[in-house]
Amino acid sequence: MSARVVHGVAELREAVAVARGRGATIGLVPTMGALHAGHGSLIDAARGGTDFVVVSVFVNPIQFDRKDDYERYPQDVATDAGFCSARGADLVFHPAVTDMYPHAQRAYVEVEGLTEHLCGAFRPGHFRGVATVVLKLFNIVEPDRAYFGEKDAQQLAVIERMVRDLNLRVEIVPVATVREPDGLALSSRNRRLSAEERRAALAISRVLFAVKERVAAGAVDTAEMKSEALKAFAREPVLRVEYFEFVDPAEMQPVERVTAPVRVAAAVWAGSTRLIDNVLCVPPG
Ligand code: AMP
């Protein structure tokens, strides 16, 4: 069956109300489109956990810190709607910017602390834009559960914290990162990579998984592991590391010695494309 595509907020609310009236639980998968198997895995999880699955496809202007990135973001809603149908979603919510922001936006959600490091340090206003649009989507769809990828670990932590601190009635379900067979994390931005950048980008997951193994084998000194990692990236001239950090998984604060599970997260530019990835590293014992 093909998923219905709706654009307006009122229309979306009506369609969800009909499903809820039948007693269905509602799952929400927020995306920016250009859907791939990573998003597919979120849709699968939502189908497994709820009765009526809404996929939102919205390239949210207020979370972009660079105009060119926003303008270059791939958009093809017909293909995305086909993907959602094939994957068994019930509804695709594809609002226009004017549906989501009909007048000047004056209210925003700020999640403090967790947004200081990693992407938060390099993309001013990004998480404010993410938290704000996700809260709007929660208020529009009123889902029982919402599904987010661990690929964007800081985003997931920020959303979990917003839900907890603001007493939102939605359960956040994390979904494991889907990777290419060679290890590269799937991303809508991968399609911008040249063949050479695609080859070099493999270093990101390779380095992250090497660190994961070292931590599992008892390595604790994050400065030393970071310096090793940076040396490996330096062997790939088309890559430029924006950050490579060890943080605690809840507060996203830097960790010097690994005595508990840590999130190791990287942002790396391959030419003019910014890629992010992370792994959870667990010390022995
Ligand atoms: P995006 O469309 O990039 O904003 O991503 C929408 C959702 O899909 C977010 O919750 C992402 O974390 C998730 N996602 C993106 N890529 C992947 C992936 N490779 N594996 C799992 N989830 C992903």
Closest listed residue to residue 89, CA positions, set 49, 45, 39, 52: 52
The CA R_g of the chain, rounded to the nearest whole Å, is: 19
- The three-class DSSP label of residue 122 is helix
> Residues 136-180: pLDDT tens digits?
999 999 999 999 999 999 999 999 999 999 999 999 999 999 999
Ligand 1 binding pocket includes 211 (Cβ within 6 Å): no
Ligand 1, atom 12: nearest CA belongs to which residue?
149
> Residues 71-123: pLDDT tens digits?
999 999 999 999 999 999 999 999 999 999 999 999 999 999 999 999 999 99
Cα 64 to Cα 54: distance, rounded to the nearest angstrom: 24
Closest listed residue to residue 170, CA positions, set 21, 71, 27, 15: 27
Ligand 1 binding pocket includes 60 (Cβ within 6 Å): no
Ligand 1 binding pocket includes 31 (Cβ within 6 Å): yes
> Residues 57-73: pLDDT tens digits?
999 999 999 999 999 99
Ligand 1 center–CA 184 separation, angstroms: 13
Q: Which of 39, 94, 117, 126 is catalytic?
A: 39
Q: Treating both helix axes as pointing N-terminal to C-terminal, what angle do 153-165 and 126-141 enclose, rounded to 10 degrees? A: 60
Q: DSSP assignment, residue 33?
A: S
> Mean pLDDT for the chain?
97
Ligand 1 center–CA 29 separation, angstroms: 9
- The three-class DSSP label of residue 147 is strand
Active site residue 39: yes
